[in-house]
Amino acid sequence: MSIRGLGKKVAVIGAGYVGASITYALVVARIAQEIVLIDLPSNLKKSQAEINDIRHGIPLMGSSNIYSGTYADINDCDLIIITAGRNRRPDETRLELAKDNVVIAKNVTDEMKKHYNKGVILVVANPVDILTRKISEWMALKPGTVFGTGCVLDCSRLSNILAEVVDLPVDIINTTIIGEHGEGQVVLWSKSLVGGLQIDEYCESVGIQFDENAKQTAEQRVLQMGMEIIKGKGRTHYGTASCVCYIANAILNHHSTIACVSSVFSGEYGIDKVAMSLPSVITSNGIERRFVDKLSNNELNKLKETAKKLDKSYTDF
């Protein structure tokens, strides 16, 4: 049951692999003090079993108060994480999930609105850009209160790929991917850094060949990585959970950060109402601001084409 007054309260909606992994990661990382895992009443045994399994390790790895609850427990949350939805099937695009997951997201939002009184809403379920826009419209909260994980995981995957290229630790690699979490993502190579140096400059200085073909190969690897994991094990969830923890830490512990997350555009690059990723300042209030950097003609055209595609897809649901 809920313990009033703990603070740093999180609700995770959806007790599947992603929701359970996020709950576990939040506990182990000691980011939240109170976590409620919410699912359909028909799935109560599953959510309670996940809580019991996680709780058994708390004495050594964490001290969060975690419990299986209902939508009524959303009251007074600082962060609400929406994972509810079915997973991608092998060879299925994220947009092909939309027909089913928009319906699920609408049901989740309707239940959430009955009890919501505060808190940032983080959308994790796919297609994250479509669902972020839908839930933002349905909730009608202050801009930046609802946003999605967007391209955070894509940036992490690209950083891992580039760490292999330069044979250096991944934590000194910094990458920026904007646009869709999917086929329409745009890698900003001018902002891909190795220890603070732009990657082209670094590779040239140490004699590593990293030309346009190598960049295109890296981009394709990022796009294919999620599906490769799904084909291998049926789902992705650990990478998502760690990215969510990174965002949650900024919100719950006032460790403001910048990440490429998805939110509804309001005129950036001449794009309006479509949700896509941009580098954004994340604080306890959600997104405080989005950065609009100068793009090349190719980058800008691809971003605008992606926006048109997402907008067209959005009207289909």
Give catalytic residues, as residue numbers.
181
205-208-214-215 Cα dihedral, nearest 10 degrees? -30
- Length of the chain counted residue by residue: 317
Q: Give the separation between CA 46 and CA 67, rounded to whole angstroms.
A: 12
- Cβ-based neighbours of 92, under 8 Å, separated by 6 or more: none
Which residues 6+ apart lie within 8 Å of 201 measured at CB?
A: none
